Amino acid sequence: MSQGITVQPGQLIERILTLELVRVTERAAVASARLRGRGNEKAADQAAVDAMRRELNRLPIDGTVVIGEGERDEAPMLFIGEKVGNRNGPKVDIAVDPLEGTTLCAKDMPGSIAVMAMAESGTLLAAPDVYMHKIAVGPGYSTGVVDLDASPEENIHSLAKAKGVKPNEINALVLDRPRHADLIAAIRKTGAGIRLISDGDVAGVIFTTKPDETGIDIYLGIGAAPEGVLAAGALRCIGGQMQARLILDTEEKRARAHQMGVTDPNRKYDMTDLARGDVIVAATGVTDGALLKGVSFGKDVITTETVVYRSATGTVRRIYGEHRELSKFHLD
């Protein structure tokens, strides 16, 4: 446990696990990267899931998957409620998206990552794989500078004012989907720019934390809930603000969410409701992207790039891995 931080014993995730998480996302990334550009999303996803499960089960943790992805698109998944780890360690919540951006991977387009979070038991929002309204900005703004329930115009104007720029100097990031037609029109009316992405809103939210590098000030729109919780975990470590609301538009989804502990289907969550305890988040690039370089397969060495976030200290590390055994034995 780090010196100088006043916490009760047991409240922090052992920091050594930070590196263990890196191992897990590295393996998932390498496994799915072998299937980059093959046009087969399911196979790439399955490879990532299998590798992630295998590595997770080697960890000295008593883990429960609370965020698994795949129900929505019937992808192979680490299912919600699944126990992972060798049980020889702390009770932790696990959130996974073994291959975030399956289409990006299948088409060998930029931005697919293997991503997961580990947190103190009971501190990550347990949510079904449904859609989620999200809004996020990076650090440095006073609380409430943007609000999920304000109009896009209000949010852009308020953010511009807080940043000390004109609305047309603000850039938003939005998933390119027909459902966002009105949102896009409303943002454009303010003069703000919009970067449209085809997939990958975990990275999209993280981009808001470094507007000078990424050019992105704000994330807006509807993505998936698992990605929302993972992004909130990362944001908790770096700083920033996020609000979200599950879209529970059928009786079935409401019942499923209720079963998982969501008593108010219209609840507006903020960043700390989504991830409130000590949390570690790791992501490894599968294809090259703005956040991370993808896996590269050399003759004798496989290289990976991983970023790992730790909320206890706000530490962000980038880890470049050279994997020789993996290459030699074609292990994943």
Using the rule CB under 5 A, is 50 a contact of Mg ion? no
Find the helix or strand (DSSP H, E) in which 246 lies: strand 241-246
Residue holding tokens 């929302």? 228
Q: Closer CB to ligand VTB, residue 63 or residue 200?
A: 200
Q: Which residues of the chain form contacts with ligand VTB (CB under 6 A)?
A: 100-101, 175, 177, 199-201, 223-224, 227
Min CB(317)–ligand VTB separation in Å: 24
The interface partner of residue 99, options being Mg ion, ligand VTB, none and the CB cut-off 5 to 8 Å by kind, is Mg ion
Q: What is the CA radius of gyration of the chain?
A: 19
The interface partner of residue 177, options being ligand VTB, Mg ion, none and the CB cut-off 5 to 8 Å by kind, is ligand VTB
Residue nearest to Mg ion (CB): 100
Using the rule CB under 5 A, is 99 a contact of Mg ion? yes
Min CB(199)–ligand VTB separation in Å: 4
Burial call 107-137: b when 16+ CB within 10 Å, e when fewer = bbbbbbbbbbbbbbbebbbbbbbbbbbbbbb
Strands 171-175 and 131-137 come out as: unpaired
Find the helix or strand (DSSP H, E) in which 214 lies: helix 211-214
Note whether 63 and 94 are within 8 A (CB): yes
Q: Give the residue among 79, 86, 83, 78 at the shortest CA–CA distance from 58.
A: 86
The interface partner of residue 175, options being Mg ion, ligand VTB, none and the CB cut-off 5 to 8 Å by kind, is ligand VTB
Q: Which of 20, 100, 129, 332 binds Mg ion (CB under 5 A)?
A: 100
Min CB(226)–ligand VTB separation in Å: 8
Q: Closer CB to ligand VTB, residue 179 or residue 317?
A: 179
Min CB(198)–ligand VTB separation in Å: 8
Residue 24 is encoded by which pair of tokens?
């897990």
Q: How many residues bind Mg ion (CB under 5 A)?
A: 4
12-20, 61-69, 157-165, 181-189 -> range binding Mg ion (CB under 5 A): 61-69
The interface partner of residue 262, options being Mg ion, ligand VTB, none and the CB cut-off 5 to 8 Å by kind, is none
Min CB(20)–ligand VTB separation in Å: 24
98-106, 175-183, 268-276, 321-329 -> range binding Mg ion (CB under 5 A): 98-106
Query: What angle, rounded to 10 degrees, do the helices at 17-33 and 41-56 form?
Result: 150
Distances in Å between the alpha carbon of 256 and those of 130, 246, 265? 10, 12, 11
36-44, 66-74, 133-141, 278-286 -> range binding Mg ion (CB under 5 A): 66-74
Note whether 51 and 9 are within 8 A (CB): no
Q: Which of 50, 69, 129, 305 binds Mg ion (CB under 5 A)?
A: 69
Note whether 321 and 304 are within 8 A (CB): yes
Residue holding tokens 């998936």? 224
Q: Which residues bind Mg ion (CB under 5 A)?
A: 69, 97, 99-100
